[in-house]
Structures are given as C-alpha cells and as structure tokens.
Structure 1
C-alpha cells in the first residue's frame, strides 16, 4: 500500500462523526445505521403480522364458544394461547423498532440504582449479597443524569438480567455503581459481574438484534439491541468489556443533568 494511502486509511479509521449531538466512531455509526435499518424491517413485519394474528385468535374464540368436544376445546385454546404469544412477540418487535421518544428529566442515578436493586431483590428473590450497589464517595458530586426514568430503568434491568444469567449456580456477585465520567458533562453507570464472561466473538455481536448466546427459549436477542437504541436516543453511549471466566462490565454513559434530580428510591 502506498504510504499516503495507508495514512489516509488510518485517519479515516480514527475519525469520528458528530450526529444529533453525539460523537460516533465509524464502527459505532455503521452499527447505529444497521440497527435503524433492521428496526424498520421489524416494524414492517410486525405490522403485517398483527392483522392475521387478530383474525386467527378471533375465529378460534368464536369456535370455542359452542364447541363441546373436550379435545376440540383444548386444541382451540392452544391456538388462542399461541396467537397471543405471537402477538407478544410482535409487540416486542414494535417496541424495539419504534421506541417512544424519551421524556427527559433530571434523574438521580444513584437513587435509581438502589430502586432497581430493591425491585430485583423483591421480585426475583435474589440474595442481597449477590446484587449490591456501591455508593459514590463523600467527595463525589451528585450523579444526576438527563434521562427518561422508566427507559433508563429498563436498560438497567436488561443489563442486570444478562449479568444474573452469567453468574454461577452458587455464588457470584453483580455490582451497580455510578459517578462522574471521564468525559465532561457526563455520568457513567456501571453494571459489573464476576460471572462466566464472553468470548471475543460473542462480545462483538452482543448488541446485534436477534443474536443470543442463551439456550433456546430464553430470549429473542432483542434486549441489548433495544438498550442500545434507548441509550443512543438519550444522546449517550453503551459498551461492554468482558473476558471468558472473568465476568462482564457494562458501561452506560449519559449526559449530566443540570437541575433538581427526580428520586423515588426507598431505603
């Protein structure tokens, strides 16, 4: 390769693009555009599937009413249940494809981490020692982020869910923390686990829609892709660090809030 051409290639690889108030590397920009394309395809597919599913469910319910044969009734109920299950998948596709615009407010990130942790401990019966939060140091500034509280909570829940799946059957720890980021006017939220970690190949595809390394039936591979779309809609970034046998750390970088933070966490 000619020296000038090599230099130009290196410069292009290192370049960043400024889109909608956020800096993206070429790889990040390409991934974002790919996600947008796949999302549009998913939205179209979801719209086309909704109508026939409604007809199938409706007709099955009509037939179920007068049916007397127990085997026929069981079969019709299976059709209805599976149609509803498919409708849930379509709803998940649509939620990924066209998430609602975030309703931004100043959110106390540390309080939200505590709130999400408490919900996990209550609903999932996870031992308190397995899911812990690290409070910011006394000298740290309040970690308020400009975010949609419900959407940010859904991102944290997805990251914690992935971390919980990676933990060994006995033991293992998930740690939640937040604080000022190295980047000015930003706050970093972290979900770290000491579970099985990911191979480089899995890590590279972790945010790809419909990709999942979980066993069949455990998910459709949209969780991290949806989290990525939500974070980018906030003008933020999300990335993973992982090594096999050493666990995974998820980083979420969001714009710092500027006013009174909204806090609902319990003690």
Structure 2
C-alpha cells in the first residue's frame, strides 16, 4: 500500500522498482535504479549474480578513478615542491654566496696589503661585519623555520598586544628611516589581553612589517593595527577574536600568487630579480617569513590571511583567540 500510495509511483505508473547503493569503502557514491512501467509484465525479473557483478565493476571503476586522481594530485604536489625546493636552493646559494664572496674579497685584500691606513681598515672591517651579520640572519631564518615547524605547542602567557606592536614600530622605524617611510599604529582602546607566546608573536609581527616595508615604495606608509573582530569571518569558531593587521600602500600581490604566499620557500620576486637586504625596496630573503608566520598563527590556534590588489597595496590579517 505504501508503494502504491507514493506520488512518483502514481505519476509515472510504476509497477516495480529496484534500487541498490553503489559503495566504495563504506561510502555511498550513487544508486543503481531500475523501474518497470510495462503493463504486460508488471513483475521485474533480475539475475542476482549479474546485478552483483555489475555493481562490483562500477565500484571498482570508481575506486580506481579516485586512486588515479589522488595519485595525480600527489604527483602535482611533488613536482611543485621540487620546483620550490630548487628555487629555494638557488636563493639560499645567492644569500650565502653574496656575503661569503664579500668576505673572501676583503680578506684577500688584507693579505695582499697588510699595512692599510686607518680609514681603509675601518671600511674593510665594516664590510666584513655586515657580511657576517647577513650570514647570521640567513642561517637564523632557516633555524627559526625548523624550530616552529617541529613544535607541537607553545608556552603561553597573558599579554597586552599593544606592547608588542609598539615595540615593533620602534624597531622598524629605525630600519626604515633611510627610506623616509611612515610607520603608523592603529590600536583600538581597551583591548583585552591575549594568551600568546611573546617571542613567537613578536617575531611574526616583525616579519610581516618587514615584508610590508620591502614591497612599499620610498615615502610609503605601513600601518600596524589591532582591534576586536568586526566581521563574522574574523571570528574563530564563531567566538570573538583579536585581529592584528599590517597594511601597506605598496606594489601589492598579483591575484594568481595569493594562494602560494604562505608556502615554504615561496618567494614573490623572480629568482633572477632576487635582491638581498633587510628593508631595501623589493629586497627579500629565503621566502620563509610568511610560512613561519602561518605556523606561529596555527600554534596560537589562530588564523592568517591576505587581502591584496596589485599596485594598490596589501593587508595581512592575523586572528587570535581572546583570553577566556
């Protein structure tokens, strides 16, 4: 009676229906559906062995297609990683060879002429010191990335976020002074404390601001800000969060590169255009800064994303859970 009362049965004048799920590893992907509208033979006669074999063949075909798609995806990811690794090695080679070549040059100069005047001696020692500092920074970036990638958690303590932002502003103002840039703070009043690892969060914000400076023209503006979440997408699991942002009016990031900027070794500059430096325009390092920042945000159970428009500027947002 239930079968005859069904609307679809009445509308299509169905006499018999056969329906069986098509499953792969306990997941249902579809159904084999047969119906009979023949008034002369209302019953449906099926051979169970044939139907079972047919269903099994469909399931095998689906599983093979899934395995092939997964294999293809892994192959693409592996090729992409290999390409990024090769680019990374080229950048590391550049970052290490430049200061090492400088060191070798000035050491050879001293060996050829042991008796140099005071001014020349100071110049040589300054160049050597700068080259050593560059090597320390490069190896430090690699060690930092490895440190945070290996960590499963961080020790946390309540922190007033304005203290970190103000410190970063002071640090980068000194570095960006020669480029006549304006570093501005925008901190919402009466922000609650957040549970963070002070060292890790300071490193993340410092790196984000350095990136903003590098890809902003001389006399440009970089804004370091913090506020409570104002939009639903800024909340974490539907709960209020603290939003930290670094905004610049620089060259921006092409849309096709946005999905890759947080990947290890990814560098916005082309290899052939790679320039070393701390805050020089369009200079860059190893392509580890944003990847490390993403990992630090994850260790804080937070989120990080970028909004950017080419030739207009970039804003990096970081959301952190508020202290319970």
Q: Considering the TM-score relative to the shorter chain, is it more than 0.5? A: yes
User: 1:230 aligned to 2:296?
Assistant: yes
Give the corresponding residue for 1:252: 318
For residues 147 and 185 of structure 2, the distance between their equivalents in structure 1, rounded to whole angstroms, comes to 29
Deviation at 1:142, TM superposition (A): 1.8
User: 1:98 aligned to 2:150?
Assistant: yes
User: 1:168 aligned to 2:217?
Assistant: yes
Give the corresponding residue for 1:63: none
Deviation at 1:204, TM superposition (A): 1.6
1:118–1:126 CA distance, 2 compared to 1 (3 A):
farther
The TM-score, its normalising length taken from structure 2, stands at 0.49
- CA radius of gyration, larger in: 2
Greater RCO (CA < 8 Å, at least 6 residues apart): 1
Deviation at 1:159, TM superposition (A): 0.7
Deviation larger for 112-121 or 98-107:
98-107
1:130–1:178 CA distance, 2 compared to 1 (3 A):
same
Give the corresponding residue for 1:145: 194
For residues 109 and 91 of structure 1, the distance between their equivalents in structure 2, rounded to whole angstroms, comes to 26
1:213–1:127 CA distance, 2 compared to 1 (3 A):
closer
For residues 240 and 190 of structure 1, the distance between their equivalents in structure 2, rounded to whole angstroms, comes to 10
Of 171, 174, 193, 1:122 maps to 174
Deviation at 1:206, TM superposition (A): 0.6
Q: Deviations over 1:147-200 (max 9, x none)?
A: 10110011101110110011113x211111111114223100011111110101
Q: Residues 157 and 195 of structure 2 are in contact (CA less than 8 Å); yes or no, is this contact kept in structure 1? A: yes
What is the count of residue pairs matched by the alignment? 182
For residues 140 and 168 of structure 2, the distance between their equivalents in structure 1, rounded to whole angstroms, comes to 24
After the TM superposition, list the runs of 4 or more consecutive aligned residues in structure 1 that deviate by more than 3 angstroms. Answer: 84-90, 122-129
Give the corresponding residue for 2:227: 179
For residues 174 and 221 of structure 1, the distance between their equivalents in structure 2, rounded to whole angstroms, comes to 20
Q: Deviations over 1:43-99 (max 9, x none)?
A: xxxxxxxxxxxxxxxxxxxxxxxxxxx59xxxxxxxxx8xx7786575345235324
**Uncovered stretches (5+) of structure 2, i.e. residues with no partner:** 1-27, 30-76, 86-110, 113-131, 277-283
SS of corresponding position for 2:177? coil
The TM-score, its normalising length taken from structure 1, stands at 0.59
**Uncovered stretches (5+) of structure 1, i.e. residues with no partner:** 1-7, 10-33, 43-69, 72-80, 259-267
1:257–1:168 CA distance, 2 compared to 1 (3 A):
same
CA root-mean-square deviation: 3.3
